[in-house]
Structure 1
């Protein structure tokens, strides 16, 4: 599931300068959407690149044809403000006559905005979700129960956006019922709260991998090969690295070059990942050949506990270097291997901690990630594939 952060910045926030400060903080933090009034769409476009959702200023029957000024057109129209959705207009007992729902059903809006003022508003949100691409729900007194109900009832019909006022509420919304809301709508001027909400989004999207130990059966010189250093556009921590290997069913954890060495300075943006033929795991659960990586691609960074995040490749550096062939045996008796450069700066993770590949010996246990099945163009497939 792809999570997103929406930032509320309509006229309820304050004057334009107040809204502008909030929007600017959101852009700098990496929010995905900004929710404004219709008149502010072009202003937001001038501030930076972000998806813009806009409350309609009036109830029109037909959305105008493409505006010659594309900057004035939002990416999504929202109904519900100043109407039935937020309680400004009494909620009809028969939803079939609802103006807000009619706009969604006629295709005059993409999203419904609903204040959860009582159980009947939960039902109204459910009705809106039938036609809305996005359903924005804001609790009058933020509680988890209405969100649990809505996740259970409409979570698969629409992109459910939960209104929150803090990063802590955002974390809870992303975790509710182990599924979580698809997105949050943050109503806060605090730049730190905005940054931490974006961080909560990133944490909720991260895959958690089950790492395993495998026993080294052979470490032997393998001649020279074209090896790849993957340099990312972000810094890695001491316990982070990448998953690489010659066989898709088993990838080795290789540390980033975060440690100081008497031979070279630390390069915490780099993983010396192995030979060009090897796989590296990507954030979508797929793999790429190291030789395929180019600037702008994404790779998966993982730590010793299996926590993952995405990193952008800044450069893939290929040079001919002497190599080791490292072979290990899993608890199930399967043997997997990879080629790693014969150098003291390349380190894998053993039971004793970070170990240079030059110090690796038969009997050591190293950290690996194991998968069933094979790969076709980087995608996991249920097919008998023999790798040796």
Structure 2
């Protein structure tokens, strides 16, 4: 798992001049605009081709020399059409550019991969341009490291909000859950979630019968004499079970499908996004576990098989076939709240 790094979402408004002030007033979670400094009126930092901007964009090496004398952070803008342009960007970094802005319309991914590979150990940030939130998501994932920032050209507040979600991080308060009951519950349908990401030791998905009480179900990176490791898979639980998705909502496991985003969570509670490649629903023998933590109680129904494992507080794995009342495993628990079509709402609710 790559350590998360700070990333910048920079907005370049494309609304008509008459609607610019209203558009800017609606921006939330954005701190830098690609506009003339006078337009920002001191409410945002600016990145622009002006010595008055907070971050000065240069298009020539002479401009960089002048900007360097001003003491302000400065960068280099380059439209990338060939490897010669990539070499020029590397020289700009060596000349002291705080950031470089890569504009690559036709070939976008490969040039960025080459530039990130060349500059990822330097102090120069790599920025690029985008025209949609989907493109922003792609840019932040290039060569796994991703770019340091994206300049999003848009006239849509909704697109800005969607793009901002790509910067969001999540931390769950993981705590020991004491198991108070283990019971066979016959057969039923369970869901295997195969993601497009590899998982390591200590990582899995939060699964439960309630949105406020879940257990950390480990991935299948540990094989056995009868099964090969599948570090992209979480044998998550029965079809009705909840997991929490990056949009802040809960989803039933039965709803997960190719393209759905889920949180992969480690034993410290750090979460990262992963895309579901497929989900497999099959009939299997099931096991109910009931646990207690922080005054909250909850259950989860998992497949009754040796390869489904939970995580103990010391980090060791515990197969569900070996779980006994009194054991402690890691999970997530908080005071109950209601859910309406997966969205959290404040209402009285009792779930058993």
**Normalised-by-shorter TM-score class:** 0.5 to 0.7
Q: Over residues 65-87 of structure 1, what are the superposed CA-to-partner deviations in whole Å (9 max), with x where a residue is unaligned?
A: xxxxxxxxxxx559xxxxxxxxx
- Structure 2: state its 5+ residue gaps: 1-5, 25-32, 49-53, 57-66, 74-91, 103-111, 121-125, 127-142, 150-164
Higher strand share: 2
Structure 1 residues 77 and 382: alpha-carbon distance in aligned structure 2, compared to 1, 3 A threshold? closer
Q: Distance in 2 between matches of 1:245 and 1:235?
A: 23
Higher helix share: 1
- For this pair of structures, how many residues does the alignment match? 253
Q: Distance in 1 between matches of 2:71 and 2:202?
A: 35
Point out the more displaced range, 231-240 or 195-204. Answer: 195-204
SS at match of 2:41: helix
Q: Distance in 2 between matches of 1:361 and 1:260?
A: 22
Among residues 324, 339, 342, which one is paired with 2:301 in the alignment? 339
Among residues 51, 55, 65, which one is paired with 1:138 in the alignment? 55
Matched, 1:224 2:187: yes
Aligned-residue RMSD, C-alpha: 4.0
Which residue matches 2:109? none
Q: Over residues 230-265 of structure 1, what are the superposed CA-to-partner deviations in whole Å (9 max), with x where a residue is unaligned?
A: 111111122210011111120110011111211210
Does the 8 A contact of 1:104 with 1:112 survive in 2? no
Which residue matches 1:386? 350
Alpha-carbon deviation of 1:129?
5.7
Q: Distance in 1 between matches of 2:294 and 2:321?
A: 24
Alpha-carbon deviation of 1:191?
2.1
Alpha-carbon deviation of 1:331?
2.9
Does the 8 A contact of 2:180 with 2:325 survive in 1? yes
What TM-score results when the alignment is normalised by the length of structure 2?
A: 0.61
Structure 1 residues 217 and 287: alpha-carbon distance in aligned structure 2, compared to 1, 3 A threshold? same
Among residues 121, 124, 146, which one is paired with 1:198 in the alignment? 146
Which residue matches 1:351? 313
Which residue matches 2:213? 250
Q: Distance in 2 between matches of 1:343 and 1:378?
A: 29
Q: Distance in 2 between matches of 1:374 and 1:286?
A: 11
Which residue matches 1:302? 265
SS at match of 2:171: coil
Q: Distance in 2 between matches of 1:321 and 1:276?
A: 11
Q: Over residues 190-247 of structure 1, what are the superposed CA-to-partner deviations in whole Å (9 max), with x where a residue is unaligned?
A: 3223457627679953211211111010111111010000111111122210011111
